[in-house]
Amino acid sequence: MPIISAPHDFNEHDLFVDLNPGLGIPLFLKCEGMNFAGSVKQKAAVSMIEEAERAGRLGPDSIVVESSSGNLGVALSMIAASKGYGFLCVTDSRCNLATRRMMEVFGARVHTITEPDPVTGLLGARLDHVRRLVESDRRYVWLNQYLNPSNWQAHYRWTAPAIAAQFPELDVLFVGAGTTGTLMGCARWFKEHRPEVRIVAIDSVGSVIFGTPAGPRMIPGLGAGVRPAMLDESFVDEARHVEEADTVRMCHRLASRGFLFGGSTGTVVAGAARWLAEHDAVGAGITAAAISPDLGERYLDTVYQSNWAQGVYGEDVLAELHRGEPELV
């Protein structure tokens, strides 16, 4: 058992869940929520903070500022508290209440954008606000997860090698797309070291990352209203899009087997399950893995709240999960 003195010194790299016995999905899920930040974003946060320190950009009066839909904000607020920096997270109305409260517990300030930019949406409005802050006060240091190479380098250094070591015969890897840091880090590593592995990006319907039309999205994490600058599609073999209603159904299906995962995980698993069924993964002997970005506690008031899910996606969104259950009298 390791002994640590800072919360970001611990991260479980080697935990995988086999979804085949319980759910009939021939997929190994890499669980990235087993750290003190509760998500895969701890890796990127550590990498970007340490790079800024090496470059001399952070000092005693620095205030780290970042645009985040939630998980990176939690990771940065935790590390800022540990290291003694101020932190301001610029988020939007889709950020879960539990996530905002968690950041505030660590001492961070949270600014919530409620009005989208008419062209670039809520993300564009968040970025504009960050730029104004940085121009107004020299103490603000913007790590800029959307352009910062330390974001994808964290996954090139840690995430992809851990998957490769666990599965020497891996055929396909499913990775969710948001800032595309996780996607680009893993895709670059596998294209350089194991080019036979097929990289399938999973995105949300309504996201513009891969050139599809913008649309409303209610679940934070995956997807974007602005195409990420660090995305290089030459490293990606295929992109799949998942409806948010399918995300909700998959999250509840996983929970019915005792696994409480976050919304991004539901999206990735839903997309992977469809791809694997289309390619007859079992018959073809395909070995597949996917990345689970976080756990589900922060989604109890949204994805896992039946009234919320039915209000957003319709009364029948969870109907098939409850078919065959006895009525309560």
Residues 115 and 188 in one domain: no
Residues 67 and 174 in one domain: no
Identify whether 326 is part of a domain.
Answer: no
pLDDT at 1: 67
- Is residue 156 classed exposed, middle or buried when 0-12, 13-18 and 19+ CB atoms within 10 A define those classes? buried
Residues 104 and 231 in one domain: no
Provide the 8-state DSSP code for 35.
B
- Which of 142, 176, 202 terminates a domain? The answer is 142
- Which of 112, 142, 172 terminates a domain? The answer is 142
266 with 248: CB under 8 angstroms? yes
Identify whether 184 is part of a domain.
Answer: yes
Residues 287 and 165 in one domain: yes
- Which of 142, 160, 178 terminates a domain? The answer is 142
Identify whether 22 is part of a domain.
Answer: yes
- The mean pLDDT value for 7-21 works out to 95
pLDDT tens-digit readout, 224-234: 888 999 999 99
pLDDT tens-digit readout, 155-187: 999 999 999 999 999 999 999 999 999 999 999
Residues 179 and 278 in one domain: yes
30 with 292: CB under 8 angstroms? yes
Q: Is 58 helix (H, G, I), strand (E, B) or coil?
A: coil
Residues 122 and 235 in one domain: no
**Could you tell me the residue range of the domain that residue 70 belongs to?**
41-142
Residues 234 and 92 in one domain: no
151 with 48: CB under 8 angstroms? yes
Residues 138 and 205 in one domain: no
- Whose CA is closest to 289, among 176, 174, 132? 174
Identify whether 329 is part of a domain.
Answer: no
pLDDT tens-digit readout, 294-310: 999 999 999 999 999 99
- The mean pLDDT value for 56-60 works out to 94
Identify whether 325 is part of a domain.
Answer: no
Instruction: Outline where DSSP puts E strands in 96-253.
Output: 109-113, 140-142, 172-176, 198-204, 238-242
CATH number of the CATH domain containing 248: 3.40.50.1100
Residues 125 and 229 in one domain: no
Residues 202 and 80 in one domain: no
Q: How many helices (H) and strands (E) does the chain have?
A: 13, 10
Identify whether 327 is part of a domain.
Answer: no
Identify whether 130 is part of a domain.
Answer: yes
pLDDT tens-digit readout, 198-218: 999 999 999 999 999 999 999
State the residue for tokens 């994808």.
152
Identify whether 224 is part of a domain.
Answer: yes
pLDDT tens-digit readout, 244-298: 999 999 999 999 999 999 999 999 999 999 999 999 999 999 999 999 999 999 9
Residues 168 and 20 in one domain: yes
Residues 241 and 156 in one domain: yes
How many structural domains are present in the chain? 2
